Amino acid sequence: MRYTLGKEQKLKSKTLIDQLFAEGKHVKSFPFRLIYLKVNHYSEFPVRVGFSVPKRNVKLAVNRNRIKRVMREVYRKNKYAIVDNLNEQYIFMLIYMAKEEINYAELERTFEKITIKFLDKIKEDEQN
């Protein structure tokens, strides 16, 4: 697997994003909230992901952009944990909920936790 985050892996379609927020399920692990939805999105990669930092929580654009950059890097380095365990195609939105910037190591640990929660919830949904 290549550790890249290319254009085909990013969630950019407005219709898919609207559908995600209308019908999606979520898991939380502070400071992240992961909203996900099983959708066929005509990409060879099983996951399309978007990143968001609300202006309400982080006022300065330069800080929001830095947090999104760090979130993309955390995802890029750890996406194999999600992708290797999926059989279906999903779309994700990873939302940063904290009011202050958290260091890279803590974000990486939190991403691992939210990945485990997501995979457990997927298995639980498949059994029902």
Q: What is the tens place of the pLDDT at every residue in 71-121?
A: 999 999 999 989 888 888 999 999 999 999 999 999 999 999 999 999 999
Local confidence band at 127 (pLDDT 50, 70, 90 cut-offs): confident
The whole-number pLDDT of residue 24 equals 94
Strands 32-38 and 47-52, bridge-based pairing: unpaired
At 60, is the secondary structure helix, strand, or coil? coil
- Stretch 14-32: mean pLDDT, rounded? 95
Residues 70 and 125: their CA atoms lie apart, in Å, by: 30
Residue pair 82/46 in contact by the 8 Å Cβ criterion: no
Annotation: CATH topology of 7-127: Ribosomal Protein S5; domain 2 (3.30.230)
- In this structure, how many other beta carbons lie within 10 angstroms of the beta carbon of residue 48? 23
The whole-number pLDDT of residue 106 equals 95
Expressed in angstroms, the distance from the first to the final Cα of the chain is 31
Tell me whether the omega of the peptide bond preceding residue 54 falls within 30 degrees of 0, making it cis: no
**Please, what is the Cα angle at 39 between 38 and 45, to 5 degrees?**
95
Top pLDDT among 126 and 38 is at 38
**32-38, strands of its sheet edge to edge:** 25-29, 32-38, 90-96, 47-52
Q: With pLDDT > 70 as the criterion, what percentage of the chain qualifies? A: 99
Measured in degrees and rounded to the nearest 5, phi and psi for residue 87 equal -110, -20
Local confidence band at 1 (pLDDT 50, 70, 90 cut-offs): low
Please state, rounded to an integer, the average pLDDT across all residues of the chain: 92
Domain residue spans of the chain: 7-127
pLDDT at 21 over 90: yes
Tokens 């498949």 belong to residue: 126
